[in-house]
Amino acid sequence: MLHQFTSPISKSHFRVYKIIGYLLLTVVIGMPFGNAENSTKAEPGVTANVHAERFERKTKLQKKCRQKKSFPRGFIYKTLGSNHFSKNDVRRYSIGLIVSPAVRMSWPQCLNVLDKNGNNIAKLGLYATGSGWAARYYAGIGCASSTPFGGGKVSQLAKKRTRSTNIYIDFGKTCYGPITANRCIGSQQC
């Protein structure tokens, strides 16, 4: 048996319930506050997610990378340079990107290495074109002289910022990845 309340609601309680009702209608179905003449009515079906525009903003990675492509054949990612480099050569201890001569594209002087959120964590400087390879890039060379990081350090920086060791290599609006920063791709020597 349901209990019925017989006591009248005071005017102050009624105002509180009315305000709560308006708040619920505004949040749940998007009904505007105030009178209809002074407020804009929301479109039906659009108001359920009041803050939808927040999710439509581009992430930093989307702004920097108009296209994201998987790591292509003919690209070699190395977490450390080859053993044949001298112990004084910065390439021996830094990440590198070596590109097969079969790959045809333009070769920028500098590439950004981005974490999964689009933050710059390292750079790769163009070391050389030709000589058996289309292009060779290394951290610690040219524009990348301030970031002579190996794969372990790049992985650590990415994980610290994003909880992921995935990185992207930015070729100027086209980014290749995700790549696991501390894992070689396409190399027999890693």
Per residue of the chain (190 residues), give pLDDT as tens: 555 555 566 666 556 556 665 555 444 454 444 444 444 444 444 444 444 444 456 788 888 888 999 999 999 999 998 888 889 989 899 999 999 998 988 899 999 999 999 999 999 999 999 989 999 999 999 999 998 999 999 999 999 999 999 999 999 889 999 999 999 999 877 7
Other Cβ atoms closer than 10 A to 97 = 24
* pLDDT for 171: 93
> Are residues 46 and 79 both part of a single domain?
no
Same domain? For 46 and 85 the reply is no
Question: Which residues neighbour 13 within 8 Å (Cβ) at sequence distance 6 or greater?
Answer: none
- Structure confidence at residue 46 (pLDDT): 43
Domain assignment present for residue 106? The answer is: yes
| Interatomic CA distance for residues 126 and 98, integer angstroms | 10
Same domain? 68 vs 127? yes
pLDDT recorded at residue 152: 94
The whole-angstrom separation of Cα 28 and Cα 50 is 9
Q: Is residue 4 part of a domain?
A: no
Tell me, what's the pLDDT at 7? 55
How much is the pLDDT for 125?
96
- The pLDDT of residue 173 is 83
The answer on 67 and 141 residing in a single domain is yes
| 105 domain-assigned | yes
Pairing of strands 173-180, 65-69: parallel
What pLDDT, on the 0 to 100 scale, is given for residue 45? 47
Does a structural domain hold residue 22? yes
Structural domain boundaries, residue 23: 11-56
Say what the pLDDT of residue 170 is. Answer: 95
Total domains present in the chain: 2
Q: Are residues 52 and 65 in the same domain?
A: no
Q: Do 30 and 64 sit in the same domain of this protein?
A: no
